[in-house]
Amino acid sequence: MLTVLASGKAAPGVTTATWALALSWPGPLLVADCDLAGGDMVPGMLAGRVGIDHGLLSWSTAARHDLPVAGAAALLAEHGIQVPEQPQTTLVPGFATAMQGSSFTPDAWERLARSLQRSTASLGRDALVDAGRLVSDRGCWPVLRAADQVLLTVRPSVRSVHAAQDAVRRLRQELGDLTTVTALVVGDGPYSAGEVAEALELPLVGVLPEDRAAATVLSDGGRMSVKSMRRSSLMRAATSLASKLAASAESSSDVAAVAG
């Protein structure tokens, strides 16, 4: 199952939500930081703790044009890093700057999309992608089109909903329809999660509560004991949501097997 998290321009916490789900995922997982504007997954939570010699750019160089998709998919793990807090999770770091992101060609995005699909289908692990903000016609749209589910992250505020509505229009234009898209509401605000989903005309996949202490650990490498982190309201909600998403992946695989 390939799951992509994205947002509108109001920056409602895609990276934090991606980390929360990645650390809660019940099985082997490949995480790819595909934010075109520059990835924050390593500079945030893992700052100073892991090397960044490998990532999307080194993978793209290694996965040359004539390499079969299966080989390119296998290389993803080689150009990733093992997450210390979750050994069964591998993170492929993203771009250090927006300029690096702009150097990733449309063909490279297509190869990445096919490789992530193959990784989930044949290597026995799910894939989770931080796509960042959907504010440009460029970027990882091939990955979004290949996704089994797209979680549009939004805060329950007028500003964030307005930005998400623009993202919904872009998603409909690029994907053709919104059958794979759901709303993930993050934090507190004047509106309920149901009202936000209704305004976006999307199903509600889940809610991640406001939890600044735990969120700071995920976004900026703040300190908190492992025990306290696991007990935090953010991680408890993320664990429930990750189990739901992983179960959906298993159910989809069963349906595909029966159809085959």
- Domain locations along the chain: 2-255
176 has pLDDT over 70: yes
SS3 content of the chain, % helix, strand, coil (to 5): 50, 20, 35
Nearest to 107 by CA among 61, 45, 165, 170: 61
Give residue 256's pLDDT band: very low, low, confident or very high (50, 70, 90). very low
Q: What is the mean pLDDT of the chain?
A: 89
What kind and span of H or E run contains 82? Answer: strand 81-83
Asked if the model's pLDDT at residue 254 lies above 60, the reply is no
Cβ–Cβ under 8 Å, residues 256 and 82: no
Q: Poorest-confidence range of 123-127, 153-157, 209-213?
A: 123-127
User: What DSSP assignment string belongs to 102-152?
Assistant: HTS-HHHHHHHHHHHHHHHHHSS-EEEEEEEE--SSSSSHHHHHH-SEEEE
Beta bridge partners of 90: 30, 82
Query: Which residues are CB-contacts of 213 (< 8 A; sequence separation ≥ 6)?
Result: 222, 224, 232
Residue 186's contacts (CB-CB under 8 Å, 6 or more residues apart) are: 12, 13, 16, 17, 153, 154, 155, 207, 208
Q: How confident is the model at residue 156 (pLDDT cuts 50, 70, 90)?
A: very high
Convert the pLDDT of each residue in 117-130 to its tens digit. Answer: 998 877 778 999 99
Q: What is the pLDDT of residue 211?
A: 92
d(CA 81, CA 36): 20
Determine the Cα–Cα distance for residues 43 and 76; give it in Å rounded to an integer.
Answer: 20
Give the integer Cα–Cα distance in Å for 179 and 202: 9
**pLDDT over 50 at 21, yes or no:** yes
Instruction: Say what the pTM is.
Output: 0.92
Domain 2-255 has CATH 3.40.50.300: yes
User: Pick the residue with more confidence: 11 or 100?
Assistant: 100
Residue 252 pLDDT: 55
What pLDDT shows up at residue 119?
84
Q: What is the mean pLDDT of residues 243-248?
A: 90
Q: What is the mean pLDDT of residues 68-93?
A: 90
Per-residue pLDDT band for 249 (boundaries 50, 70, 90) equals low
State pLDDT tens for residues 124-150. 789 999 999 998 888 899 999 999 999
- Residue 32 contacts residue 19 (beta carbons within 8 Å): no
Q: Answer yes or no: is pLDDT of 238 > 50.
A: yes
Among 11-15, 43-47, 115-119, 151-155, the range with the most confident prediction by mean pLDDT is 151-155
Burial class (CB in 10 A: 0-12, 13-18, 19+), 2: buried
**What pLDDT shows up at residue 89?**
93
